[in-house]
Structure 1
Amino acid sequence: MTDPAEAQAPARRWPLIPTILVLAAVAAMVALGVWQLQRKNEKEALIALFQRNMAMSSTVAYPELPPVPDAFLYRKSSVVCLEPVRWDPRSGTDRKGQSGIRMIADCRTGAEGPGVLIDVGIGDDFAPPKWSGGTVQGTIVPGPEQPTVMERAMGKAVPARAMLIADTPVTGLRASAVPSADDTPNNHLAYAFQWFFFAIVALIIYILAVRRRLQP
């Protein structure tokens, strides 16, 4: 015979509001994965542009005002440093792979403007070189102070200045290594797989949880 308590128990229904919230979260994860795939294609095109720039032997005028167009990065250029107004020592390597301290000069190029960042070479200590400026030839690369991912997402990113890595270091220093276009990070495919994986896992966990809840 059927238990009266079981006969009178109301049928359990699939929860509507939690389902809508979970589906919205899954849709957002899928959208983020698709966006990362789009970013992957954009980054591959950007790396190809940088590789073409590195292969060019002609020089371009140095872009003193940020943001620096991608077409100028990894190109040869020259700039006149009237006076180094500030030094920014940072760790780095020379062109033989030896570690040291990169001496980055924030140079004045005129009466106004943000100035120009120049990597004049690598030394073994933090003491600035005895260099008063002059004409510097080198390669344009992204500057050391790039906006963070959070700043970009919040729309608070300040346009970053580029930097010129000198072909010939100043006296007493070694030539700094020039970054390669191939060093440009392109992890968007892995990020896309992560978002898709999170979406699938969230959906499976929710379905299993609801099925267990609906069991008599």
Structure 2
Amino acid sequence: MTEPAETQRRWPIIPTILVLAAIAVMIALGVWQLQRKGEKEALIALFERNMAMSSMVAYPELPPVPDTMLYRKSSAVCLEPVRWDQRSGTDRAGKSGIRMIADCRTGAEGPGVLVDVGTADDFTPPKWTGGVVQGTIVPGPEQPSLIERMTGKAVPARAMLVADVPAAGLRASAVPSAADTPNNHLAYAVQWFLFAAAALVIYILAVRRRLRP
């Protein structure tokens, strides 16, 4: 014996609850991205103020580096470069090359200091043995990913000092600016809102087709 047509065409309650819950999560993620957008704009404004300051600050000995110190002028003493990290980049004239980043020993213990001593045309480390380096504090090349931050597995990121005067035989590396700080949160928010709207429309169309006599 078959069920009446009215019973067979009931609006699906459990799937509807699940879909609405998923849509609510997408909207919440969109709102969160809008909040992050405001936070990132305030951070960029802070970095721009830091760049305008000519006074020097003491180089941070341990990570994490306070935002108030990024893009400020500072100096550090490299007793000895213990490791070289070559990365692609540009010099201050816009010419591409290989940035020479020295991981320097600053004492018997501690994490030391990362110093970008200049840009070269190849991967050969310079014959630089250390010394006093003056430059600009910028975020280091190794920054935690979004997943690491969300899962609580992120380790404090190290900063880096971009030397004002390059090592012998190198060109001065370009100094990152506040404008390089990514702020894609508005686009992410719009995407989440569009996903939520699309999910709602698709679900309604699918249910209406299912309930159609």
Q: TM-score range by the shorter chain?
A: over 0.9
Return the letter of the residue paired with 1:160: A
Matches within 5 A, 1:63-74: 63-74=60-71
1:166 counterpart residue number: 163
CA distance in 2, matches of 1:137, 1:184: 23
SS of alignment partner, residue 141 of structure 1: strand
2:133 aligns with one of 125, 131, 136? 136
Task: Give ranges in structure 2 of 5+ residues lacking alignment.
Answer: none
Shift of 1:183: 1.1
1:21 aligns with one of 18, 21, 25? 18
Return the letter of the residue paired with 2:146: V
CA distance in 2, matches of 1:208, 1:17: 17
TM-score by length of 1: 0.95
Percent pairwise identity: 82
2:72 aligns with one of 70, 75, 78? 75
SS of alignment partner, residue 192 of structure 1: helix
CA distance in 2, matches of 1:10, 1:46: 58
Return the letter of the residue paired with 1:9: A
CA distance in 2, matches of 1:158, 1:80: 24
Return the letter of the residue paired with 1:180: S
TM-score by length of 2: 0.97
CA distance in 1, matches of 2:88, 2:189: 33
1:57 aligns with one of 51, 54, 57? 54
Return the letter of the residue paired with 1:153: M
SS of alignment partner, residue 147 of structure 1: coil
